[in-house]
Amino acid sequence: MSAIYNFCAGPAMLPQAVMQKAQQELINWNGLGVSVMEISHRSKEFMALTQHAEKTLRTLMDIPQNYHVLFMHGGGRGQFTNVVNNFLGDNGKALYLVNGQWSTAAVKEATKLVGENNIDQVNIIENIDGLNQVVLPDFSAHSDDYRYLHFCANETVDGIEIFDEIECPWPVVVDLSSTIMSRKIDVSKYGLIYAGAQKNIGPSGLSIVIVRDDMLQLPSLPQSSIMDYRIAQANDSMFNTPPTFAWYLAAEVFDWLTSVGGVAAMEALNQQKAQMLYDCIDNNPFYTNGVCKQNRSRMNVTFQLSDSSLDSEFLAQAELAGLVALKGHRVVGGMRASIYNAMPLVGVQALVDFMEAFAKQHS
Ligand SMILES: *Cc1c(COP(=O)(O)O)cnc(C)c1O
């Protein structure tokens, strides 16, 4: 079989080396004669795995000591709920920046949880202009007292990324589901970072939460124990049975990322991959991307064919060439190539070659 390059937005492709290792270890992990899925999460072998995973992640992201790392259930959306329930007790207010589909979904969840009568607990700023450019508000004169400001650093559906740090007087909560470890970020600027695993980390269902210690003092609402950050922290993310296989695979991805040079090396590669693809789009009138240059996502490259009646033929031919899952999100249409950490440069090169040939054939 010739190479298949999978551009799925999520669950996304995982590094081939990791998948091969997992396959080898599937029925005999660590010489135990059983798989990692079939042992106690409290066994010393599994505990060693979790400690290693945390340590590796701390090094990769340079996470300061006053932050806890939690491995939770519920993916990205699970944290839409958890941040509200953990931080907005006793009528606290939050501010949400909205610049795409996922930040909109986070607002929807927050307003549902505070309830119709308390809608003023969730304030919103739409910070995208008509040019698909993110304009960050100036918060210096803001007198409101917010428990947190929430934003989504990479809008996976729309292909819009915010590269700037947000400067504001409140703790910043960021959804990094589709951009975590694709570039360096300064963890110390955030109150809480979360990410569903299935884009840059591992299997879906798992959620990584990095939370600053003082955030756990905020008053919380009565809530399910498995979603409570304090309980997760006090129980080493094992209040109930954690998603052990996902945790194992995440640890393998962290090791792989370390072995290829860590986040800085990945950032350079990701820049190169995205540049190749955007250059192809910009240099060819057959393709367009409407996102302003400084907010073009490095992870999710959206593009349209100038003649959308060719969309299905484009997708069919791409698939024949081994380039799969390029169809855009159903809400925005067009195409989307998700090029997370695991996508090799040759995969992007293959896509660019295909796009150039397809455009030539149809112009
Ligand atoms: C994928 C994604 C989510 C949702 O993740 P689930 O695990 O499906 O809940 C949330 N935010 C962003 C930015 C995403 O890309």
How far, in Å, from the CA of 82 to the mean position of ligand 1?
Answer: 14
The rounded distance, in Å, linking the Cα atoms of 15 and 253 is: 7
- Do both 224 and 190 map to the same domain? yes
List the beta bridge partners of residue 335: 303, 327
Residue 249 and residue 202 in contact, taking contact as beta carbons nearer than 8 Å: yes
- Residues 54, 145, single domain; the answer is yes
Angle at 106 between CA 102 and CA 109, to 5 degrees: 135
User: Does the structure show a pLDDT above 90 at 141?
Assistant: no
Determine the Cα angle at 82 with ends 81 and 83, to 5°: 95
Regarding whether 187 and 280 lie in a shared domain, the answer is: no
Q: Answer yes or no: is 169 within a domain.
A: yes
Query: Residues 197, 143: one domain?
Result: yes
The verdict on whether omega for the bond into residue 15 sits within 30 degrees of 0, i.e. cis, is no
Structural domain contains residue 323: yes
Specify the DSSP element, H or E, that contains 225.
none
pLDDT, one tens digit per residue, over 286-323 is 999 999 999 999 999 999 999 999 999 999 999 999 99
Residue 164 has pLDDT above 80, yes or no: yes
Among residues 29, 158, 170, 199, which one is catalytic?
A: 199
Residue from 154, 156, 194, 331 whose mutation best tests the ligand 1 pocket (most atoms within 8 A of CB) = 156
Q: Which of 8, 72, 77 for mutating ligand 1's site (highest number of atoms within 8 Å of CB)?
A: 77
> CA-to-CA distance for 350 and 273, rounded, in angstroms?
11
Question: Do residue 226 and residue 271 come from a single domain?
Answer: no
Pocket of ligand 1 (CB under 6 A): 10, 75-77, 102, 152, 156, 175, 177-178, 196, 199, 204
List the CATH number of the domain containing 75. 3.40.640.10
Specify the ligand 1 atom closest to the Cα of 178. 15
- The answer to the question of residue 277 being in a domain is yes
With bands split at pLDDT 50, 70 and 90, how would you rate the model's confidence at 348? very high
Q: Which of 29, 158, 170, 175 is catalytic?
A: 175
Helix, strand, coil shares of the chain, percent, nearest 5, are: 40, 15, 40
**Does 347 score more than 70 pLDDT?**
yes
CATH of the domain at 316: 3.90.1150.10
- Residue owning the nearest CA to atom 5 of ligand 1: 76
10 falls within a domain: no
Q: Which residue do the tokens 């470890």 mark?
A: 181
Instruction: Spell out the residues 6+ positions from residue 148 whose beta carbon is closer than 8 angstroms to its own.
Output: 83, 87, 94, 95, 170, 171, 172, 173, 191, 192
Q: Tell me the three state secondary structure of residue 175.
A: strand
The pLDDT value recorded for residue 132 is 86
In angstroms, how far is the first alpha carbon of the chain from the final one? 31
Q: 219 with 335: CB under 8 angstroms?
A: no
Quick check: is 175 catalytic?
A: yes
pLDDT at 1: 56
Residue 155 bridge partners (DSSP):
160
CA nearest neighbour of 95 among 75, 121, 131, 134: 121
Mean pLDDT in residue range 256-280: 98
Query: Does residue 23 sit in the same domain as residue 168?
Result: yes
**132 lies in the same domain as 200:** yes
Residue 331: which pLDDT band, with cuts at 50, 70 and 90? confident
State the average pLDDT for the chain: 96
Whether residue 275 sits in one domain with residue 213: no
Centroid of ligand 1 to alpha carbon of 319 (angstroms) = 25
To the query of whether residue 256 is one of the catalytic residues in this protein, the response is no
Residue 54 lies in a domain: yes
E strands of 53-156, at which residues? 67-73, 94-98, 122-126, 148-152, 154-155
Q: Give the strand pairing for 192-196 and 172-175.
A: parallel
Q: How many domains does the chain have?
A: 2
Of 259, 282, 309, at which residue does a domain stop?
A: 259
In a domain, 174, yes or no: yes
- pLDDT for residue 129 is more than 90: no
Asked which of 214, 240, 259 is the last residue of a domain, the reply is 259
In a domain, 207, yes or no: yes
Residue span of the structural domain in which 349 resides: 262-361
Q: Which residues pair with 21 in a beta bridge?
A: none
pTM of full prediction above 0.75: yes
72 and 206 in a single domain? The answer is yes
Q: Which residue has the higher pLDDT, 332 or 268?
A: 268
**Which two three-digit tokens encode residue 308?**
């959308």
Indicate which residue's Cα is closest to atom 12 of ligand 1.
177
Task: Please state, in angstroms and rounded to a whole number, the distance separating the CA atoms of residues 103 and 80.
Answer: 9
**Ligand 1 center from residue 307 Cα (angstroms):** 30
Q: What is the sign, positive or negative, of the torsion defined by CA atoms of 141, 142, 148, 150?
A: negative
On whether both 47 and 191 belong to a single domain, the answer is: yes
Is residue 25 in a domain? yes
pLDDT of residue 27: 95
Q: Whose CA is nearest to atom 14 of ligand 1?
A: 177
Domain end marker among 259, 294, 315: 259
> Do residue 187 and residue 148 come from a single domain?
yes
Three-class SS of residue 41?
A: coil
Q: Is residue 74 domain-shared with residue 61, that is, in the same domain?
A: yes
Residue 69, token pair as written in the block: 């790392």
Q: Is 199 tagged catalytic?
A: yes
244-266 confidence digits (pLDDT tens): 999 999 999 999 999 999 999 99
